[in-house]
Amino acid sequence: MAANVVVPPDAEAISLADACEHLRADMGPEDSLIQRAIRSARRRAEHELGRPLLPQTCEKRFEKFDRRMYLWCDVTGVESVKYVDDGGVEQLLEPMSYFVAGSSFLKLVAQAPAAREVVVRFKCGAFTADSVPESVVEWMLLQVGAIYDNRSAVDSVQTYEIPGRFVDGLLDGVRIYSI
C-alpha cells in the first residue's frame, strides 16, 4: 500500500513563472491549469522515481505491527505511530519504542503490542524546492508541456512523440530501485 500524502509540499520545484517561460505562455487566465500541471508532473516524477521529491507529511496504514515496516524513501522523521489495541481503543506508541532505519523503514525497539490497525504519520522528502536535480526539473517541465499542449487524451493532429526513453532517462540518476 502506498503512502498517503496528508500535508503536501509548501513549494514546488518549478515556479509558475518558470513554467510559463518554458511553455512560452503569458501568466494569466491559464495559471491554475499550469499550477495543476506542475503538481501533477511532480507526483508523476515521485511515482516514477519511487521517492518523495519535496518535504511533505504522509501517512501509511498497516494491518498490524511488523519488525520492519516500509514507509517510503527519504523519511526525515516520524510524527506519530497510532494503533488500535485488542480492546478497540486507539493508542499512541511512545517515540522511544521505534526508530527509522535506512531512511525508509520503521523498526520497533521492543516487542510490538497487539494491534488491529497501525497508522504511521511521517515527514519525508529527498530535496528542497531549490535543490531538485536539473534533470528531474527538465523531465517535469516536459510533462507540464505535454499536459499544457495536449488537453485531451486523444488528438488526431499529433503524429509524433518525444523519444520516451530519453525523457524517462532524465530521471535515472535519482531513481530508487527496490529489491
User: What domains appear along the chain, each with residue ranges and CATH number?
Assistant: 4-53+128-169 (1.10.3230.30), 56-124 (no CATH)
Handedness of CA 35, 128, 76, 74 (dihedral sign): positive
Sort 162 into a burial class: Cβ within 10 Å, 0-12 / 13-18 / 19+.
Answer: exposed
Render each residue's pLDDT in the chain as its tens digit; 179 residues. 789 999 999 999 999 999 999 999 999 999 999 999 999 999 999 999 999 999 999 999 999 999 899 999 999 999 999 999 999 999 999 999 999 999 999 999 999 999 999 999 999 999 999 999 999 999 999 999 988 987 776 666 766 665 566 677 778 878 877 76
Q: Which three cell numbers stand for residue 1?
A: 500500500
